[in-house]
Amino acid sequence: MRHSLPLTPQFYVTAPQACPYIDGHRERKLFTALQGSGATALNDKLSKQGFRRSQNVLYRPSCADCTACLSARIRCTDFVPSRSQRKTLNRNAHLRREVTSPWATEAQYGLFRRYLATRHANGGMADMDIFEFAAMIEETPIRTRVIEYWDDRPKTDGDAPVLRAVCLTDVLDDGLSLVYSFYDPDLPQQSLGTQIILDHVEIAREAGLPFVYLGYWVPGSPKMGYKAQFSALEVFKTNVWQRVDDPQAHVQETHPLSVEPISEQVARIELPDEIG
């Protein structure tokens, strides 16, 4: 189906498919193309309204009978790491951050394959080849960076540095958006996923950016529960950003009547001045 605002861009809805977060549910997405001279402004504006980027597409969950997926972001100024998060920072103090342009490498792809095999063997990316991986990294019409984390401590003399973690990161006008991250699955004690988020808060602070966008948080989903462990978290709910104090207070309605029709959802979307 296609749904259009009075002016471009045009919005579409995907066909329902199995939800990866809640058993027995079906998901669908509202999406639009991200292209042309207005791509940056569109990405900035829609990111503030719960959208996420995947290559040249912006999307937001728009399920027919559920509103459990909530876009989440950290307020960097107010963020205070927990005791366990401070320990994570200390454990990973030896990692060297390397910020590069969005260019895929064999080292990245090798780590990506190991990560998927261990953490998401049955996921939608499990069969992604190196060309599809390169497209995921490189096909971006906006300001994007690849942030790598290298272990320079050799096991023996002459050993080369080892790539431990990677994050594909968009630079928005009000923050950093973690598009996709992956890390060494053989080092669970290092909490590398948490380390990536903590370091992005630091990068955002250094750049004077107020937010770090984490993607979607699903209250009650084990896959997404870790996001609620970060302080100063807020979610986009009922068309406004709200602070997360008690995670249980954000369990969403799953009755079909609680979901707005697609046409009403599209009508509520605010576009940047140069587009809309």
Q: Which domain holds residue 56?
A: 2-68+252-268
Confidence of residue 5 (pLDDT cuts 50, 70, 90): very low
Does residue 236 sit within a domain? Answer: no
Supply the CATH number for residue 89's domain.
3.40.630.30
- Residue identified by tokens 């529960």 is 225
- Asked whether residue 240 is assigned to any structural domain, the reply reads no
Query: Residue 183 pLDDT > 70, yes or no?
Result: yes
Q: Are strands 144-151 and 95-100 parallel, antiparallel or unpaired?
A: antiparallel
DSSP state of 228: G
What would the DSSP string read from start to end of 202-222? HHHHHHT--EEEEEEE-TT-T
- Taking the C-alpha atoms of residue 175 and residue 66, their distance in angstroms, rounded to an integer, is 28
**Is-contact 254 241, C-beta < 8 A?**
no
Could you tell me if 124 and 30 lie in one domain? no
For range 64-81, the mean pLDDT = 93
Instruction: Render pLDDT for 122-142 as a digit per residue (tens, 0 to 9).
Output: 666 778 999 999 999 999 999
Over the chain, what is the mean pLDDT? Answer: 90
User: Strand 162-171 vs strand 175-183: parallel, antiparallel, or unpaired?
Assistant: antiparallel
Domain count of the fold of the chain: 2
200/84 Cα distance (integer angstroms): 17
pLDDT of 171 > 90? The answer is yes
Judge if 86 and 42 occupy the same domain: no
Model confidence, pTM: 0.91
